């Protein structure tokens, strides 16, 4: 059906007669077909739920069967492996933790490409090495399918509210077909260029996010040590030139804001180990392009150290807690 929709767009280029009616008909027909979704973690589950809310039948799977229950209760059909999903759906979205997971899900013994249909549209919203996205695109093309990378920004809260930002890389002619699904899950869907460019944009965004979060955590910690009330300090920052997303929307200090991980012992949100992974991509791509990233490199080291000190599964804003505890340790040792 994805191939049918793309065929309709080609028809538009050949003839203007009855174009609007034809495109509406094709979109309606395509929308009635199931959408595959693979990867039902903290991000994948609310994303898949939003597809269901928009009337798309969802066929899903996850390596952990217990992760499937919530979306199954919402009306999704659960299958045993990615290959079975590919056999039933010609539009598939993947949301996975890392490059090795993506490689396994697409090319493994029970992977998508084992039973993929020609014309299938594959949208990977994982944050992975851009080189892996390019490899998957080549592998998909050999099977007559189309692969696009579409990593996201916004976190679990934005995923639940369908307010994610998608950064899309791939063949431009396929962007509208991808956008139809992505707009059900996000507020912004931006075409970035060829395959891998979505990942490049995401890596740059997350490097800035990490640097900004560390700066916010350092600032808040210093202000508290100087006797300032954290809520007052946050209010001052957010009406001054130091204001940023980490201070205004995702403050890392417990008790300053409601509905953020710092208000819940840093549970949920975007894990420290995932931030360390993304900063590793920034480091490797900076090395290959001979780009100086002194603050990005330091942020990478800080998040790696945090992982080694038990923060791996806490939200990345727990860098405030890490810095606070490190300061007390230093004081005690003096």
Question: With helix as H, strand as E and coil as C, how does 247-283 read?
Answer: HHCCCCCCCCCCCCHHHHCCCCCCEHHHHHHHHHHHH
**For position 328, what pLDDT does the model report?**
55
Q: Provide φ and ψ at 59, rounded to 5°.
A: -115, 120
pLDDT grade for 175, boundaries at 50, 70 and 90: very high
pLDDT grade for 1, boundaries at 50, 70 and 90: very low
Q: Which of 44, 305, 201, 41 is nearest to 209 (CA)?
A: 201
Please state, in angstroms and rounded to a whole number, the distance separating the CA atoms of residues 204 and 127: 12
**For position 48, what pLDDT does the model report?**
97
pLDDT grade for 157, boundaries at 50, 70 and 90: confident
* CB of 154 closer than 8 Å to CB of 205: no
Q: Where are the domains of the chain?
A: 35-193, 201-326
Strand partners, 175: none
- Tokens describing residue 139: 């592998």
Tell me the mean pLDDT in the region 4-30. 41
Give residues with Cβ within 8 angstroms of 292, minimum separation 6. 286
Where does 35-193 sit in CATH, by number? 3.40.50.720
Q: Provide φ and ψ at 190, rounded to 5°.
A: -115, 125
User: Is 190 a residue whose pLDDT tops 60?
Assistant: yes
CB atoms within 10 A of CB 165: 18
**For position 222, what pLDDT does the model report?**
97
- Compute the residue count for the chain: 334
From the number of C-beta atoms within 10 Å of its C-beta (0-12, 13-18, 19+), residue 262 rates as buried
User: Tell me: the pLDDT tens digits for 89-107?
Assistant: 999 999 999 999 999 999 9
Q: Provide φ and ψ at 303, rounded to 5°.
A: -70, -30
Please state, in angstroms and rounded to a whole number, the distance separating the CA atoms of residues 56 and 28: 11
Active site members: 202
Residue 98's SS3 state is coil
Give residues with Cβ within 8 angstroms of 293, minimum separation 6. 207, 282, 283, 286
**For position 32, what pLDDT does the model report?**
63
CB atoms within 10 A of CB 209: 22
* CB of 37 closer than 8 Å to CB of 57: no
- Say if strands 146-149 and 152-153 run parallel, antiparallel, or are unpaired: unpaired
- Tokens describing residue 52: 């269901």
Tell me the mean pLDDT in the region 248-253. 96
CB atoms within 10 A of CB 72: 15
Query: For domain 201-326, which architecture applies?
Result: Orthogonal Bundle (1.10)
- Tokens describing residue 254: 């417990």
Question: Model pTM greater than 0.95?
Answer: no
What is the Rg, in whole angstroms, of the alpha carbon atoms belonging to the chain? Answer: 22
Tell me the mean pLDDT in the region 100-116. 97
């Amino acid at each position: 059906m994805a191939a049918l929709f793309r065929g309709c767009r080609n028809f538009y280029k050949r003839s203007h007669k009855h174009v609007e009616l034809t495109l509406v008909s094709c979109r309606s027909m395509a929308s009635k077909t199931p959408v595959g979704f693979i990867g039902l973690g903290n991000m994948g589950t609310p994303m898949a739920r939003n597809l269901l809310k928009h009337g798309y039948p969802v066929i899903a799977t996850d390596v952990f069967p217990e992760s499937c229950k919530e979306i199954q209760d919402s009306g999704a059909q659960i299958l045993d492996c990615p290959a079975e999903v590919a056999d039933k759906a010609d539009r598939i979205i993947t949301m996975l933790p890392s490059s090795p997971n993506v490689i396994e899900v697409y090319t493994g013994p029970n992977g998508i490409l084992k039973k993929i249909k020609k014309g299938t549209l594959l949208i990977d919203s994982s944050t992975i090495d851009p080189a892996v996205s390019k490899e998957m695109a080549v592998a998909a093309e050999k099977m007559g399918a189309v692969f696009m990378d579409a990593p996201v920004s916004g976190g679990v809260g934005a995923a639940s509210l369908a307010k994610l930002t998608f950064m899309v890389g791939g063949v431009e002619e396929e962007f509208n077909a991808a956008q139809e699904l992505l707009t059900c899950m996000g507020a912004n869907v931006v075409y970035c260029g060829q395959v891998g460019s979505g990942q490049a944009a995401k890596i740059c965004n997350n490097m800035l996010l990490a640097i900004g979060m560390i700066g916010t955590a350092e600032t808040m910690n210093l202000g508290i040590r100087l006797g300032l009330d954290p809520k007052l300090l946050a209010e001052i920052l957010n009406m001054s030139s130091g204001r940023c997303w980490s201070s205004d929307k995702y403050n890392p200090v417990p008790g300053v804001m409601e509905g953020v991980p710092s208000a819940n012992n840093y549970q949920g949100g975007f894990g420290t180990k995932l931030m360390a992974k993304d900063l590793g991509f920034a480091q490797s791509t900076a090395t290959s392009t001979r780009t100086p990233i002194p603050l990005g490199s330091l942020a990478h080291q800080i998040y790696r150290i945090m992982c080694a000190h038990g923060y791996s599964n806490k939200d990345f804003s727990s860098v405030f807690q890490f810095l606070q505890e490190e300061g007390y340790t230093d004081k005690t040792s003096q």
